[in-house]
Amino acid sequence: MENEIRAIISHMKEWVKVYQDMGFDPPPVQARKATGRKEAGGIGSRQKRGARGAEMLEALQEFIGDCKRCKLHLGRKNLVFGEGNPRAGLVFVGEGPGRDEDIVGKPFVGEAGKLLTRIIVNGMGMQRENVYICNIVKCRPPRNRDPEKDEVETCLPFLEQQIRIIGPEVICTLGRVAAQTLLGDDFRITRGRGTWRSYNGIPLMPTFHPAYLLRNPAAKRAVWEDVQEIMRRLGMEVKTNA
């Protein structure tokens, strides 16, 4: 386990340095293909894998450190790494921290975050700590603007490593920016949400950002339909009266 953690850190250091020296952007990190939670070994084995995943995520967070790799660090209060179950079957990916997240240092803790928590707890019947929540960029963009291309390119390798370590069964992108980052700039959230896609072999469901739902409550029904699809993919019971 310790050797695996060291290998990740060593790989990322060499990978970033070589490409920066050449003047190129780092290549994408290939996420591990989802294997589901039906792995052999029973509960004890899953707990061991969860502990290993937690240590690997901690090592990645330590590698990122007090990040100053792009200009977003200039205005941030706290870097927001992500949080949740290191062996989560479901990973939510937003675009970036907002004001509340920047203050607290945790993802989705403002009004949009409270709505996401209600979707997870009341809609899906899960606990928030049983999923994993993170963002495309880990520092708040000024005035909550969209992250710029160079900021996304700098931070994306860390998200890709998080996904690789967790190995989720499903990814759910929240909003346009997250979906376009993982699926391509041609993706249109209003037309493409609710349709299964794939990211490095992992099923991906794009849906609206909770902040959009606060401004457009009528869209909640569409998101609930998307969430039901995720639940079915995870083998969960769907509450049709929710």
CATH of the domain at 145: 3.40.470.10
Helix (H) / strand (E) containing 220: helix 220-233
Predicted confidence (pLDDT) at residue 42 exceeds the cutoff of 90:
no
Q: Is residue 197 part of a domain?
A: yes
Is 189 a member of any domain? yes
Lowest mean pLDDT, pick from 47-61, 68-82, 171-185: 47-61
* Domain assignment present for 163: yes
Residue 198 lies in a domain: yes
Find how far residue 220's CA is from the centre of its chain. 21
The answer as to whether 6 is a domain residue is yes
Domains of the chain: total: 1
Report whether pLDDT(190) > 90: yes
Q: Is the pLDDT of residue 138 over 60?
A: yes
Question: Whole domain around residue 93: which residue ranges?
Answer: 2-233
pLDDT of 13 strictly over 70: no
**Each residue of 194-228: pLDDT tens digit?**
999 999 999 999 999 999 999 999 999 999 999 99
Residue 167 lies in a domain: yes
Q: Which amino acid is at 103?
A: I
Q: What burial class does residue 50 get, using C-beta atoms within 10 Å of its C-beta: 0-12 exposed, 13-18 middle, 19+ buried?
A: middle
Residue 239 lies in a domain: no
Q: Evaluate if residue 11 carries a pLDDT over 90.
A: no
pLDDT for res 239: 72
Residue 49 one-letter amino acid:
R
Are 140 and 75 within 8 A, CB to CB?
yes
Instruction: Report yes or no on 135 lying in a domain.
Output: yes
Q: State the pTM of this model.
A: 0.82
**What is the rounded CA–CA span in Å between residue 177 and residue 183?**
10
